[in-house]
Structures are given as structure tokens and as C-alpha cells.
Structure 1
Amino acid sequence: MVIETYDLTKQFGGKGGFQNISLSVKEGEVFSFLGKNGAGKSTFIRTLVGMLYPTSGNGMILGKPIGDVETKKKIGYLPELFQYHKWLTGYELLFNHALLYKMNKKDIRKRIQEVLDIVGLKGHEDKKIKQYSKGMKQRIGLGCAILSDPELLFLDEPTSALDPVGRKHVRDIIFKLKEQGKTIFLNTHLLSEVELVSDRVAILDKGKIKTIGTIKELMHSPVVLSIGNCSEKMINELKNFDPYLEKVENEIEMHVKNDEILPEIAKCIIKNEGLLYMMKRKENILEELFIKTVGEEDER
């Protein structure tokens, strides 16, 4: 495992932070922490990268204890609210970061060109940071994070301040990195980003993991049926497909193992002289799960 934590806890005077988090992240997967602002997501990442000392518990990063100096060389990190020197050009920023990484000077120029290509900023490297748009600043930040070709990448809210075009650019970069076999730990409160890029998701609320699983597991959406002339006999037969189906007036919500069962459900309705007006998968399942898990109140 690339990341393993065991009852890892970080609190400040017994408050805030996160408590008793145990999880594992496999090589090459995109693992997302989903939670409201203030849920403890950023504190968790800062603890994993060694910027904060845990209050209790322990963890391993790339097979070494949290904070191991050699392991840090294999980690890339994009903070949530980063600020770079506005008077530097994009190239100068990357070059200075390369020196901080103690990269071989012979390799720096070649690697910078590779990174500029990955983040889509070729042709803009000689512009000053103050001339960059929000999306370009986010991408140059990603460039700094991947400059040393890390095995593990931590991205803290990488798209939260961007417009839809900017978010798509960042998503495309994440997909490229995933294709290269990088392991990515992503913090976000944007449901759409989680659905599009993540392999597994953990929902964090008030510093504790409430649920964890693959996108498929968390988004096993029910089928919604709109039926006319719905008889008790029909309902009883439909319960052969889902014993726990729910009926509200003329709508039925039921879970089925796969879509191959749907024609059989339609046959059952027609055989019982029902009128099938609609059959579709329920939408916004992740949003519904998220709100049900963490509530609707803004606790900031």
C-alpha cells in the first residue's frame, strides 16, 4: 500500500482536526476525501506529508513512517491556498522549485519542458505569475508539485476556485498523471470532481470517516418506476426483484443487481396490466449520500 493509517489523530487542544482515521490507498489509484469545509481534510493531508505531528495513532507512506525525510522526496504536494512570487515568470518559478528539490542541473531544463507540456503551459512560461489567470496559476502550482516526478501526489482542493473550463483542465492533468501510474490523494468538496476522477472515496464529517468505498459501491443508484394501474399483485411480484422496494403513490424505487433485469421488470408490469410511464436510474445519488451523511448545516 502507498498510504496506510491506523487510528491516526490530529487535534489542537483536544479540538478540531481529525480523529481515529484508519485507511489504505493502493498504488495507482485516485483516492478522494470528500467533506464540507472545516471537516479536517487539509489537516489530514498536512499530517501525512509531515507538516504536522499526529496527536496519536500512526501511519506509513510508501512503506516508511510518516515524516521520513527520504520518502518526502517521492511526494508532490499542492496546498489549497498557495501563493507564489508574482514577479517570477512561470519558468523561473519551476526552475527555483527544481533547485529546492536538489535536482540535477543538467536535467532541470528538460524536465521543465516536460512539465509545461503536461500542465498545458507551453508558450506561457515566460509570462510573469501576476499575468496568469486563476486556471494558469493552478496549473503552474500543479507543475511545481509534479516537477520531481513524485510517486505520490497530494492535491488539496485543486479546482475549488476555478470556472468549469479551468476545472476541466485540472481534471485532464489528473487523468494524465493517473495514466502514468501516479497515486493521487485528492481533497475536495465538489461532488462532480469526485464522480469524474476518483476510484475510491471517503466521506469525512467533523474529523471522522463516515463511509468509504468505490464510486460504484457508493453510487449504486436505484431504479425509479412510474406506473399506472398499480395493483397489489404486481407489487408482490416486483418484490421478487427487490424485497425492500419503496412505493410512494404511483412511483416505485427499487434496487436491482444489473440492467439486464430491467426488461424482466417491464414484462412483470405489463403482464399485470400495469402502465409503465417511466423507468430510469435515480440521479444525484452521490449528492444525496453526501447530504444524508454530513447534513445540510453550514458549521463554519
Structure 2
Amino acid sequence: MVLESVDLTKYYGREIGCRNISLGVSPGEIFAFLGPNGAGKSTFVKTALGLLKPTSGTIRLFGKSPEDLHVRRKVGYLPENIRLPEWMTAEELLRFHGKLLYLPEKKLKRRIEEVLTRTKLWERKDSRIKTYSQGMRQRLALAVALLGEPELLFLDEPTSALDPVGRIEVREIITDLKRQGVAVFLNSHLLSEVEMVADSVAIINRGEIKARGKLAELLSGRGILIRGEIPEALLNKLKSRYQTGEAPNGLKLLGVSEEEVPAIMRELVLGGANIYEVRPFKAALEELFIQAVEGKNGADN
């Protein structure tokens, strides 16, 4: 494991940052850590980076403490809403960070060209950062995170300031890193983006993990979408028996097998419902997220 936590807990006085977080990330895995604002994502990441000390529990990077300097050299970090020194050029900023990483001059020169080319900023390497758009600054921050050739990369909202083309380019960088065996720990509110790249997902709310597992397994749940006019009493009866999700002018019943559909349809018709459409569907990450955060589903694989 490149990252492993066991019952990691962090309190701020009496306030919970995160509690009993146990998870692991393997080499070459894209692990998405999801949750609403204030859920505990940043607390966990800062503890994993050694910026905070846990109240209890343990966390290890490459089997060692996050405070180990040799471990830190294997880690890259792109924080959310990063502020860059506007008076510097991109090349000056990367050279500064390269010196902090103790990169030899020859390697540093090569890496600066590689990461700026990868983030499509090479032609602007001599421009002051104050002339950069927000999207360019985000890509430059990503270049800084990649400079030391990390084996574990923490990305906090890496596509938040990017246009659709920029998001595609960052997705390509992330999947390319995976092919190289780099593990990516990804925080993002853009669930559709996560769904395209993530291997595993953990959903956190109020400091605790609410759902966790391989993304393909978590989204394997299927059900039926019913559109029509359903009497309230019948609707409540269905909700008491099945996990449900909202849909425009309709209802989603989760975990319903094909064998159950005829009986459900008979019940609806006999109960006075006017049904316009019935069709199968596959669960989406957004739906899983809402269910987990609202406490409707406690999936843990």
C-alpha cells in the first residue's frame, strides 16, 4: 500500500475532523475521496501529508510515517485554491520548488520542460504568473505537484478552475500517471469527472466514511425507473420496502430484480397508479453520493 490508515481520528477540541477512517490505496490506483464541504476530506488529507497529527489511529505512506523526509519526496500535492507568487515566472516557480526537492541541476532542467510541456505551459514559461488565467494557474500548480516525479499524488479539486478542454487534458494526465504506476488520491466535487477515472471511492460525511469500495462494484446496483402518477399511500408503501431515489415525474426503485417487476407493476395498477413508463437503469455516482450523505445507504465493500 502507498497509503494506509487504520481508525484514523482527528479532533479539534471537541469538534470532529474525521473519525475512525480506515482505507488503503495501492500503487497505480486512482482513489476518489468524496464528501460535502466540511465533511472531513481536508482534515484527512492534511493528516496524511503530516501537516496535522492524528488524535488517535495511524496513517502510513509507503509503510512509514508521513513525517519521514524520504517519504515526503515521493509525494506530490495540489491543494485547492492555491495562491501562486504573481511576480514569478512559471520557470522561476518550478526552479524554486526543484531546489526544495534537492533536484540536481541537469534533472531539474529536464523536469521543468517535461511538466510544463505536459500541462501545455512551456511556451509561457517566461511569462509572469500575474498574466496567467485562472485555468493556467491551476495547470501550473499541477506542474509543481508533478515536478518531483511523485509515486503518490494528492489532487484537491484539480479541475475546478478549468474549462471542458482543460478538464479532459487533466483527466488524460491522471490516467497516464496511473499507467506509470503512480497512485492518485483525488478530491473532487465533479462526480461525473470522478466516475470517468476513479478505480475506488470513499464517501465521507460528518467525519465518517459512509460508503467505500471499488467504483465498478458500488455502481453495479440496478433498479427500475417508474414515471407516472402514484397515490401517496402507495408511494409510501414502496418507499418502506425499497431503497428509492427521486426522478423527474417519477420514482427510482433500487436493487429491484427483473423477477420482481411484474408484481410491482400489478401492485401499482391495482393501487390506482397511472404508469407512463417503466425501464431499467444503472446507478450513477451522483445517486450513490446522495444516498450515502443522506444516510439512505451504507455500502461498504
Q: TM-score, normalised by structure 1?
A: 0.79
Deviations 1:31-60 (A, max 9, x none): 010100111111111110111111111111
With over 3 angstroms needed to count, the CA separation of the structure-2 counterparts of 1:280 and 1:120, relative to structure 1, is farther
- Letter in structure 1 aligned against 2:16: G
Runs of 5+ in structure 2 lacking a partner?
Answer: 228-241, 245-249, 262-275, 296-301
What's the counterpart of residue 131 of structure 2?
Answer: 131
Q: Deviations over 1:111-138 (max 9, x none)?
A: 1111112222221211111111111111
Partner of 1:77: 77
Deviation at 1:166, TM superposition (A): 2.8
The correspondence of residues 46-65 of structure 1 with structure 2, limited to 5 A, is: 46-65=46-65
Name the CA distance, whole Å, in 2 between partners of 1:291 and 1:49: 28
CA contact (8 A) 1:33 1:201 kept: yes
Maintained 8 Å contact 1:118/1:176: no
Question: Cα distance 1:129–1:282, how it changes in 2: closer, same or farther (>3 A)?
Answer: same
Q: Which amino acid aligns with 1:152?
A: L
Q: CA RMSD in A?
A: 2.9
| Distance in 2, Cα, partners of 1:225 & 1:295 | 20
In structure 2, the residue corresponding to 1:193 is in which secondary structure?
Answer: helix
- Aligned partners of 2:185 and 2:252: how far apart in 1? 38
TM-score by structure 2 length? 0.79
Percent identity between the two aligned chains:
49
Distance 2:200 2:114 in 1: 29
CA distance in 2, matches of 1:177, 1:154: 12
Counting only pairs closer than 5 Å after superposition, residues 141-180 of structure 1 correspond to structure 2 as 141-180=141-180
Residues of 1 paired with 2:123 and 2:251: CA distance? Answer: 56
Counterpart residue identity of residue 48, structure 1: A
Distance 1:85 1:45 in 2: 24
| Count of residues in Structure 1 that have an aligned counterpart in Structure 2 | 266
- Alignment partners' CA distance in 2, 1:33 and 1:221: 20
Q: Do residues 293 (structure 1) and 292 (structure 2) align?
A: yes
Write the deviation string for residues 71-115 of structure 1: whole angstroms up to 9, x where unpaired.
001111111121111011111111111011111012211111111
- 2:214 equivalent in structure 1: 214
**1:19-58 equivalences in 2 (<5 Å):** 19-58=19-58
Q: Equivalent residue of 2:103, what SS? A: coil
Structure 1 residue runs of 5 or longer lacking an equivalent are 228-243, 266-275
Change (3 A) 1:47 1:252: closer
SS in 2 for 1:65: coil
Other structure's SS at 2:106 match: helix
Letter of the aligned partner of 1:286 in structure 2? L
Distance 1:251 1:209 in 2: 27
User: Deviation of residue 165 (structure 1)?
Assistant: 2.9
Q: Does the aligned pair in 1 maintain the 2:225–2:253 contact within 8 Å? A: yes
Separation in 2, partners of 1:24, 1:120: 32
Partners of 2:97 and 2:144 within 8 A in 1: yes
Aligned to 1:192: 192
Corresponding residue of 2:236: none
